Every structure is written in C-alpha cells, then in structure tokens.
Amino acid sequence: MDIDSLRAAVAVSPDNIPLLQILAKALEDAFEINEAKNHYEKIIEIDPSQVQAHLGLIRILDLRGETSQAVVRLDVLCEKHPQCAEAWMLRARIAMDEEDAAAAGTWYAKAVALNASIADENLMKQIITAGGSISGEEAKRRKVTHDGSEVDDDDVCGGTMDDVLSRELDLEFRVKNTARFADVGGMEAVKEQIRMKIIFPLQNPALFASYGKKAGGGVLLYGPPGCGKTLMARATAGEIGANFFAIGIHHILNMYIGESENKLHQIFELARRNVPAVLFFDEMDALAADRRDMRQSAGRHLINQFLQELDGAIDNNDNILILGATNAPWHVDNAFLRPGRFDRIIFVPPPDAVAREEICRIHAQGRPLSVWDEKDLAKRTEGLSGADIKAVFDNATEVALTEAMRKGAVAPITGKMLTQSAKDVKPSTRKWFESAKNYALYSNQGGMYDEILVHLGIKK
C-alpha cells in the first residue's frame, strides 16, 4: 500500500493503532519525519504501552538532532522493557553516533543476546574498528570459570558479539570440548609441557607468580599425520575448561591483502577477551612459510603480524595457550621458534607399544568386544599411527556388523577380527618419514630434528 492510501485509511479510522503504526513507519522510511512523528505520538497517546511507537519516536528525535531527548526516552524504554532487543540495538546505534564505542559494544551485546536475528554486522564492525569490545553482563556470564566448569547450552549458541564475530571470522569458537587427556593415548611429553604451561599455572597462580611465571605460551607440535596433534589440542581445551579457537590457516590466507592481518589480529583479540583460551593454529607451515620462500610482500606482512601477536606486543597473552601443529616444521619460519613464541617444539611420533595399548583401549570403548588381548594387539600394530589404530577398530567393527546382519543377531567384535584388521591396515606414516629423514639428515638446524633420527634408529 502506498502512503496516500494509508493516509486515506487512517482518515476513516483514526484510532486504529496497527494502521497508524504502518503509516508512521512508511512515512519514516520516506523521510517524512515530521508527519511520522505526529502519528507515533498519536499512537502513544492512545496506548502508552506501544513499544514500536516509542522506538519510532526515538528514532525520529535522533534523526532531528534531538539526541539527548531521544536518549532519555530510550533509557526509560529499556528500563520498562529490558527484554526488547530492538531498544538495546537502537541504544547501541545512538551510542556509536555519539562516538562511545565502549557503551555501544555493551548494548550491542545485550541486543544480540536477546535476539540474534537482529545482529547488524556493519554496526558491529564500526564498533570494533572504533575500539569497542564486548562488555557487560553477557560477557561475564558467558565466560568459562577457571575451575573448569562448562558453559551452559544456550550460552554456546547464544548471540553475543563475540559469537557473531567468530562466525564472521569463520572460526570454531567455544566448541564444547568433551575430550580430555585420558582420551589421548601416549604423548606424555606433550601432556607434561601443557600441564606446566597452562594447567598448573591456572591452578596455582600465586605459586607460579612467585617464580615470575604466568599461564600461557606457545607450543608447536610436529610429526607425521594421524598421530594425535589435533586431538591433543582439543583435549587441552577440554582439560582446562578453556575456550577453544581452532583456526584453519586457509581461512586467514584466503583474503585480500591487508585483510588477513586484520583478521589475525581480531582472532587474537577475541581470545584475549575470552581467557583462559587455547588458540589452535593447524597447518602452521602454510601460514608460516619461510619468509625467504615468500615472493609477495603480502605474506611477509602477515607473518610479521603473527609474530607481533605472539610476542604480545599489541596486548598481553596471559592465560592464552597457543598451540600450533604442522607436518612440515622445516617450512616454518625460524622466527616463530624463538623464546616467547613457540618456544617448545615437540615431536609427536607414532605411538610406542605402551601408547598403542592405551590407544587400543580408548578406541575399544563403547564397542561390543569379546575377549581380546590388548598387549598382543599393541604388538601387532607396530608402526601404525593413532588414526591407523582407529581404522583397525573401525574395520573390525564393520566385519562384525556384516556378520550381525547375516545372522540377524548381535555379533561381538572378536580378537581374531582385530588381528586380521591390524594385518590389513598399512602404516600411513611411512611416506612422511621418507622425506623427514632427509630434512633431519641434511638440514637439521641445530639438532632440531634429532628426535626424528632417534626414532628412525639412525642416531642414539
């Protein structure tokens, strides 16, 4: 309906609130603000509880430059109707016009927490660019407590500003991590490092402070595929009840020049607002490709930004554990390996016999197994990665399932099925060792890859 016919309709029924509301909004959209104002006022006169009319009137007052009046009315409205997301959003918008990014951030968070569908990415970007950040009740309520208790469900899918931001950044954010160290077989050296860097310091902050130590730091995990690097990162977050941010490097690299740096900065800022946090950078070699290899200066800028973020030059990284993972540490820029950055570089080899036994037990959980011999299976899976061992169990399960379908009754997975399956699964790490061996022999920077040589039996 056009404005003229709406006007005509209102002339016939001047007290029809829904009709008045439609006309007022249409006028507002057409910038007929004075006439719109009259109609909004009329509605409020008839029924003072009409929230939409109040909002309209406030928008118009703001448009006319009568901002202080608008703000006073908005205060009252928010107090009377604290559940009205649009009112908080309008408050954020006006605060932003007033260049109060901090307040805008608080109201924005409140608005999207009440109704995620009114999120306004442009406004959010403005707020962040202007230095605003999430604050207020929502942010506090949302944080995982240091004793490791978990956030509740509506929090996880809530619509706070950081949620919106992480969606925009294409991040896995605050994923509930049920995995624990107990779900990772072996990897004792890695677990120990992680305990010392973040778990114990979070539990005993005073003790660590007395030694001048804080929680956080960087650990780079490298090794062949399927040996539990990614699993370990998730388990770390689960273990400390921390927020977990998984960053696939392609998300950052696939950007226009300049945008990647900004994105990376936003990711670190997001983590800093949500400590304790585990920031996990997978495929580190892709991001941190040796600077000499980088022909474009764009890549160099990104690396420099990353180094600055790691150094906490921009802001501090207390209570943030930065985990990196790579299959190709030789392609990682040396600058990343200096103290204070990824200052622990840990080789994650295929599991030894004890670890394999553990991994077998982990993957046996929840499957209908008849009697089977863990030690024996550990022996038969020599050379296999954790992922390969999982495949042994998956394949044996399939055999048992086929049998169950044939018999029409549950058939357990037998030790024999597992042994056969172990014979069929080929080690997937061999190829990796072939190339790793060359790097370790001919480009072993300061003995960095000695562990690989020891693992291969080349060095004692």
Ligand X SMILES: Nc1ncnc2c1ncn2[C@@H]1O[C@H](COP(=O)(O)OP(=O)(O)OP(=O)(O)O)[C@@H](O)[C@H]1O
Tell me which of 225, 383, 412, 427 binds ligand X, using CB under 6 A: 225
230 makes contact with ligand X (CB under 6 A): yes
Indicate the residue whose CB is closest to ligand X: 386
**Looking at beta carbons only, is 229 or 455 nearer to Mg ion?**
229
Closest approach, Cβ 282 to Mg ion, in A, equals 6
Collect all residues with Cβ–Cβ distance below 8 Å to 264 and sequence separation of at least 6: 252, 302, 305, 306, 309
Q: Which of 393, 367, 365, 366 minimizes the C-alpha distance to 378? A: 393
CB of 186 to ligand X, least distance (A): 5
Count, residues in the chain:
460
Least distance CB 282 / ligand X (angstroms): 7
Residue with tokens 């049920």: 178
* Beta-bridge partner residues of 244: 278
Based on the shown chain and the rule CB under 6 A, indicate whether residue 37 belongs to the binding site for ligand X. Answer: no
d(CA 181, CA 342): 21
Please pick, from the candidates 231, 270, 346, 396, the single residue that binds ligand X as defined by CB under 6 A: 231
Could you give the C-alpha distances from 120 to 31, 70, 165, in angstroms and in order? 22, 21, 11
| Residue 390 found at the interface with ligand X (CB under 6 A) | yes
Supply the minimum distance, in Å, between the C-beta of residue 402 and ligand X. 22
Does residue 230 belong to the site contacting Mg ion (CB under 5 A)? Answer: yes
- Given the complex with ligand X, which of 158 and 186 has the nearer CB atom? 186
Q: Which is nearer to ligand X, 91 or 356 (CB)?
A: 356
302 CB contacts (<8 Å, ≥6 apart)?
252, 253, 260, 261, 264, 287
Binding of residue 359 to ligand X (CB under 6 A): yes
Binding segment for ligand X (CB under 6 A), chosen from 80-88, 225-233, 240-248, 397-405, is: 225-233
Do 271 and 286 meet the contact criterion of CB atoms below 8 Å apart? no
Q: Per rule CB under 6 A, is residue 324 in the interface with ligand X?
A: no
Q: Give all strands (DSSP E) within 249-396, no chain letters.
A: 277-282, 320-326, 342-347
Partner in contact with 187, chosen from Mg ion, ligand X, none, beta carbon below 5 to 8 Å by kind: ligand X
Q: How many CB atoms lie within 10 A of CB 437?
A: 16
The binding site for ligand X (CB under 6 A) comprises 184-187, 225-231, 325, 327, 351, 359, 362, 386-387, 390
Q: Which residues bind Mg ion (CB under 5 A)?
A: 229-230
